[in-house]
Amino acid sequence: MRRPIFYPFLCTLARWTTRVYFRRIEVEGLERLPARGPVILAANHPQSITDAVVLAVATPRLVHYVAHGGLFANPFTRFLMEGGGAIPIHRPRDVQGASGRNRQSFASCVKVLARGGCIGIFPEGISEYEPRLQRLKTGTVRIALQAEEEHDFGLGVSIVPVGLGFQSALSFRSRVLVTFGDPLIVREARSDFASDPESTVRRLTDDLTVRLRHQVVHVEREELEDFVRDVESVYRGELLEREGLEIEGHSRFAREQTVNREIARAAEEFYEHRPEVIADIRALLDGYHRHLEKLRLPDAIVRDEKHGFRAEAIRFAVVLVIGLPIAAWGTIWNWIPYRLTGIVARHLASDRTKIHWWQLASGSVLFLVFYAAWLLFAMERFDTAGTIAFMASLPPAGLFAQWYGTALGRRRAHVRWAALRGSRAVLVRRTLELRRVIIEAMDAALAEHLHRSTRHEPKPATKPRTQEVD
């Protein structure tokens, strides 16, 4: 296996590009990742190649990824993948002799672990942007057990489940949460593996599945997906702002993910034991969404806004006037590469799991090309100081323009809500009353869920070590 000579460069490049592309990559539970020694990172796979980029940025260790064999198909990409320390894995339906090649890949993984290295695997084997964990392949556990068996179970290989949570599958400047779970220590299964290897592999894979599900939003039943999303949209903000309610997470986005995971678990529990609760809340939500459609407003505006029309109109005007010059400047110089990035990504991405990757990759190239053109433009017209000032203004002004458009739309929605409270008072009153009934129903369901589930008993008040990757 080629030495990962490109890994430091690729990781540095990933840090710079993701720092611009994502608003923030947040990392929780990093203390669960061993600082040294053999370890396998087993992560969910919602965003194709972007998952590997994000995990490399979030992980302080050099990660040898087990990657799809198709990425090694041509000499150039194979050179980059091997130079980055990646190890190919082949699917039988894709290539002949896959089993023989995979034995070599397993041997390469064992060598990495024997050196005390770190391997990154996406054990679902497929990238799907769904709120559920796909069935895990057994290869992750087999690699760990093979490494231990060849070294008389003296390596101390641990498998660390890693949850990757993306705020959006499409949006530029969204957030990502990387959560490290409790490690699975493989050598503890030594005696079981000696007596029944296959049963041990299945049991450890099931154990890894449970651990990984605790790090992600997992909706087992497809018919519950829309319901869970509806509950999130209405109830999550309510819980996050409720005084006295402690929710795990260093940041608001991390707490949002905690709430999302708990809502999914509660929905599964009620669907199995008390489906009438799901039916009642679903009916209330359907009626509430019909009211929101009439108002042409999202729930977040209805929940939060309490100011009068005049106050909101003034706020809107202030945001509009003060931010307009900077936003206009940023739009003039960034709009073309920004729009082209979206067009290229939509054309090249075969599904939603690859949108982030193609926006990240094509945007890096397009902005580099256009900024080089703007640099030549500035050098012909300004002195050195002017050129530096001009170029330095472009990235922050472009990011401000993107924020400005969102903020302006939100403020306009606030103005509309304030106006509707006067012009359509009856509909507004009914909407607010229906929302109050929904929150009461959800509060009752939450109380029942917490009472029934012993796994949600209060834990010691210790906060995990958390970091943010800007």
Strand-pair partners of 175: 24
Instruction: Using the CB atoms, write b or e for 80-94: b if 16+ within 10 Å.
Output: ebbbbbbbbbbeeee
Q: Using alpha carbons, list the distances in angstroms from residue 222 to 130, 216, 226, 264.
A: 9, 16, 8, 11
CA dihedral 282, 284, 289, 292 (to 10 degrees): -160
Per DSSP, the three-state class of 336 is helix
Task: Specify the pLDDT at position 69.
Answer: 75
| Nearest alpha carbon to residue 405 among 452, 338, 354, 310 | 338
Q: How many residues does the chain have?
A: 470
| Nearest alpha carbon to residue 213 among 136, 303, 281, 277 | 136
Q: What are the residue boundaries of the structural domains of the chain, listed by start?
A: 7-218, 222-304, 309-423
Give the helix ranges, DSSP H, for 181-240. Answer: 190-195, 197-213, 225-231, 237-240
- The predicted-structure confidence for 284-336, as pLDDT tens digits, reads as follows 999 999 999 999 999 999 987 666 788 888 989 999 999 999 999 999 999 99
Contact in structure between 330 and 400 (CB atoms under 8 Å): yes
Per DSSP, the three-state class of 87 is strand
Task: Specify the pLDDT at position 328.
Answer: 97
What string of pLDDT tens digits covers the 470 residues of the chain? 556 888 999 999 999 999 999 999 999 999 999 999 999 999 999 999 999 999 999 999 999 999 887 777 777 777 888 888 899 887 666 665 566 777 888 999 999 999 999 999 999 988 888 899 999 999 999 999 999 999 999 999 999 999 999 999 889 999 999 999 999 999 999 999 999 999 999 999 999 999 999 999 999 999 999 999 999 999 999 999 888 888 999 999 999 999 999 999 999 999 999 999 999 999 999 999 999 999 999 999 998 766 678 888 898 999 999 999 999 999 999 999 999 999 999 999 989 999 999 999 999 999 999 999 999 999 999 999 999 999 999 999 999 999 999 999 999 999 999 999 889 999 999 999 999 999 999 999 999 998 887 554 544 333 444 455 54
φ and ψ at residue 67, rounded to 5 degrees: -120, 155
Terminal CA-to-CA distance of the chain, rounded, Å?
Answer: 33
Side-chain-side CA neighbours of residue 411 (13 Å): 19
Task: Specify the pLDDT at position 467.
Answer: 52
Strand-pair partners of 165: 177
Task: Specify the pLDDT at position 79.
Answer: 81
Question: How far apart are the C-alpha atoms of 144 and 158, rounded to whole Å?
Answer: 8
Task: Specify the pLDDT at position 97.
Answer: 59
CB neighbourhood size of 122 (10 A): 27
C-alpha of 28 from chain center:
13
DSSP code string of 222-238: GGGHHHHHHHIIIIIHH
Task: Specify the pLDDT at position 454.
Answer: 55
- H or E stretch at 466: strand 466-469
What does the block give as tokens for 218?
């997992």
Residue entry with tokens 């490690």 = 183
What's the burial of 149, exposed, middle or buried (CB within 10 Å: 0-12/13-18/19+)? middle
Give the helix ranges, DSSP H, for 275-308. Answer: 275-295, 299-304
3-state helix, strand, coil in the chain (%, to 5): 65, 10, 25
Q: Using alpha carbons, list the distances in angstroms from residue 110 to 64, 106, 158.
A: 11, 6, 13
- The predicted-structure confidence for 449-462, as pLDDT tens digits, reads as follows 988 875 545 443 33
Q: Looking at domain 7-218, which CATH architecture does it have? A: 3-Layer(aba) Sandwich (3.40)
CB neighbourhood size of 70 (10 A): 13
Side-chain-side CA neighbours of residue 115 (13 Å): 12
Give the helix ranges, DSSP H, for 22-69. Answer: 48-58
Fill in the amino acid letter for 327.
Answer: A
What does the block give as tokens for 235?
């109830």
pTM of this structure: 0.89
Per DSSP, the three-state class of 175 is strand
Task: Specify the pLDDT at position 102.
Answer: 78
